Amino acid sequence: MHFKNHTIIALLFGVMTAGCSKNSAPNEPDMRLYDPDGAVLYNYPEEADPSDAYAVAINEMPYFVFPVPQTIQRPPPGFLNPFTPHIVNFDIAGKVMVEITPKKTINAVKIRPESAGISCTLKGNTLKLFLEKPQFLSVEINNDIENPLLLFANEPETEIPDKDDPNVIFFEAGKIHERSVGALSNQTVYLAPGAIVYGAIKVGDRSNVRIMGRGILSGAKFPTEGTRPVEFEHVTNGTIEGITIVDCKGWSMPLVACNNITVSGIKIVSNTGMEDGIDIVGSKNVTVDRCFIRTKDDCIALKAGITYYDWRDSRFAVENILVKNCVIWNGKHGNGIEIGYELDADTVRNVIFENIDLIHTENPGLMDDEGSITIHNSGRAVIHDILYKNIRIEDPQRILFHFAVLESVYSPASTMYGKIMDVRLEDITVTSSRGTLRSKIMGYSSTQNVQGIAFKNLTFNGDKVTTGDQINLSTNAYVANITFE
């Protein structure tokens, strides 16, 4: 069951700094008060193993930290890297104080996304910070991005289904469940806050289906590649909301040949090397809102005509897609925000990516075509009317922008390659301590080309970009009408 912290109102003493350091000194008391009823904590199973790397208190109440295991790695060598994040999940309805005490000694702290503007105080070896609204954060101690604390302050639940309703599949709080399910039309799958479910949810040829809750769905018990934790195939009118998905052995959440789907408040955290985050495949009228995605392959990807999974036809237009208000962390390969490679459809159009923080794009040192914002058209699709707006890119380690019509292993046999046209990038900020990175825009032929790429108010480390040279942009003869303003 849910429980709230009813401890007395407290004052926090110390210096509030943008990045807490080991030598923070006491100063005037911080007079901000936390709300004793501002946090709704979850009832986790007693037998669940807590993190041994972090101790966390919410409004002075010790709280469960979920360690995400790393249960599989995928070759080739060079992609392998340890990643053992730790997750704190709760609902926030007021001003909340979070106290974090890591096992290691704190020398420096980075809280991402930087746009959140979270200040913190270091007293002894305990980091203290205040949260006032729902948001998803990565707390990185001593620049260690392989063992972060992921702090998920969720919106309060407004609807809890009746577990006795025959149209509800209910995973209770405070329990570990080992069960995979499928939902019928007009059914709801509910993972209660504090439920830990080892399994998958697969829905095909249904309508009016909901997956919701604040529980954790884990793929740790699946031994091999191919199981998708949440899969919608040919679903109309679907909602996926609130749950946390970890340790995926296949694509985390493919939406295949679907119509009218809303994904909101989802957290995906994985590092297996084979797990895209949210794949929108041959689907239309899809909204992705307020999600956190950390995967070792593409985080958000738009595709069509997939042939290597056991799906029916997905060679449909991808259109009317909105991805907004998300935090994205791309691991050692794949891309942050991707359209492609597989695009065996007539068109990809009317796509908006808006208000997104891309907090890491890690560098495998092996691929030359992966990056932060990418379009890789290896199919017949004409890609047009694409908007990227208000995107903040932190700590990029690879290509910034890569738009290309190209042949690849994902190209259908005897395909006619498509085009990329009418792409706008507005209010894009890039902050990097690694120097200027590269960008590429490449066509395939005079008819299979790229044209009409407009950059407006692109900045790199605070400097406005007015020419391609400032982002090391390379092009070829099959590219036209690239503008900067």
CATH value at residue 53:
2.60.350.10
Q: What is the pLDDT of residue 309?
A: 85
2-6, 91-95, 461-465 — which is least confidently predicted? 2-6
Q: Is the dihedral of CA 270, 251, 113, 394 positive or negative?
A: positive
Q: What pLDDT band is residue 364 in, cutting at 50, 70 and 90?
A: low
Instruction: Say if 159 falls within a structural domain.
Output: no
Q: What is the pLDDT of residue 481?
A: 98
Q: What pLDDT band is residue 472 in, cutting at 50, 70 and 90?
A: very high
Nearest-angstrom CA–CA distance, 330 and 422: 26
Q: What pLDDT band is residue 4 in, cutting at 50, 70 and 90?
A: very low
Q: What is the pLDDT of residue 414?
A: 57
Nearest-angstrom CA–CA distance, 312 and 309: 9
Same domain, residue pair 227 and 331:
yes
Q: What is the pLDDT of residue 30?
A: 55
Same domain, residue pair 199 and 255:
yes
Over residues 117-144, mean pLDDT:
96
Instruction: Say if 93 falls within a structural domain.
Output: yes
- C-beta atoms surrounding 206 within 10 Å: 19
Same domain, residue pair 237 and 115:
no
Taking CA atoms, 346 is separated from 314, 377, 379, in Å, by: 12, 12, 9
- Domains contained in the chain, number: 2
Q: What is the pLDDT of residue 118?
A: 95
Output the average pLDDT for the chain: 90
CB 352 within 8 A of CB 322: yes
Instruction: Say if 326 falls within a structural domain.
Output: yes
Tens of pLDDT, residue by residue over 34-47, are 999 999 999 999 99
Residue 302 has pLDDT above 90, yes or no: yes
154, 188, 208: which is the final residue of a domain? Answer: 154
Token readout for 133 is 């609204």
What range does the domain containing 131 cover?
3-154
Nearest-angstrom CA–CA distance, 391 and 423: 14
Q: What pLDDT band is residue 367 in, cutting at 50, 70 and 90?
A: low
Over residues 302-313, mean pLDDT:
90
Q: In DSSP terms, which residues pair with 13 in a beta bridge? A: 29
Same domain, residue pair 54 and 178:
no
Same domain, residue pair 117 and 177:
no
The owner of tokens 């295949």 is 256
Q: What pLDDT band is residue 374 in, cutting at 50, 70 and 90?
A: very high
453 closest CA partner among 396, 345, 375: 375
98, 131, 154: which is the final residue of a domain? Answer: 154
Over residues 378-400, mean pLDDT:
95
Residue 21 has pLDDT above 70, yes or no: no
Tens of pLDDT, residue by residue over 320-352, are 999 999 999 999 889 999 999 999 999 999 999
Over residues 15-22, mean pLDDT:
46
Instruction: Say if 74 falls within a structural domain.
Output: yes
Same domain, residue pair 133 and 210:
no
Residue 220 has pLDDT above 50, yes or no: yes
Q: What is the pLDDT of residue 49?
A: 94
What's the pTM? 0.93
Which three-class secondary structure string do you get for the chain?
CCEECCCCCCCEECCCECCCECCCCCCCEECCCCCCCCEEECCCCCCCCCCCCEEEEECCEEECCEECCCCCCCCCCCCCCCCCCEEEEEEECCCEEEEEEECCCCCEEEEECHHHCCCEEEECCEEEEEECCCEEEEEEECCCCCCCEEEEEECCCCCCCCCCCCCEEEECCCCEEECCEECCCCCEEEECCCCEEECCEEEECCEEEEEEECCEEECCCCCCCCCCCEEEECCEEEEEECCEEECCCCCCEEEECCEEEEEECCEEECCCCCCCCEEEECCEEEEEECCEEEECCCCEEEEECCCCCCCCCCCCCEEEEEEEEEEEEECCCCCCEEEEEEECCCEEEEEEEEEEEEEEECCCCCCCCCEEEEEEECCCCEEEEEEEEEEEEECECCEEEEEEECCCCCCCCCCCCCEEEEEEEEEEEEECCCCCCCEEEECCCCCCCEEEEEEEEEEECCEECCCHHHHCEEECCCEEEEEEC
Instruction: Say if 163 falls within a structural domain.
Output: no
Same domain, residue pair 196 and 238:
yes
Task: Find the CATH number of the domain harbouring 438.
Answer: 2.160.20.10
CB 277 within 8 A of CB 314: no
